[in-house]
Amino acid sequence: MSPIAEQDMLSISEAAEELGVSVSYLRLAERLGVVPEARRSAGGHRRYKQEDIKHLRRLGVGERKRRMAEAR
């Protein structure tokens, strides 16, 4: 893992909440190769930087759910 401080990174649940998707969605999307593999902590937990979240948004992660919410 790069020298980025652990406290500067988001857990998978924090990343999912910020993106408006479920944790299972992020795991499945990673497994299927739809999104890049997340960094891992020393304990093997997925960790995301803010730039990772921005990249996932550029890929459209969570976009459908946002559009559906706006349509209501």
Residue 34 CB-half CA count within 13 A: 15
pLDDT digits (tens, 9 = 90+) for 34-68: 888 999 999 999 999 999 999 999 988 888 766 66
- Joined together, the tokens standing for residue 22 give 């479920």
Question: Which pTM value belongs to this model?
Answer: 0.76
Distance (Å, rounded) from C-alpha 27 to C-alpha 6? 20
Please report, for residues 12, 24, 65, 67, the alpha-carbon distance to residue 34 in angstroms, rounded to integers and kept in the order given: 16, 13, 17, 20
Q: Which fold has domain 6-71?
A: Multidrug-efflux Transporter Regulator; Chain: A; Domain 2 (1.10.1660)
1 confidence band (pLDDT: 50, 70, 90): very low
Determine which of 10-14, 23-27, 54-58, 64-68 has the lowest per-residue pLDDT on average: 64-68
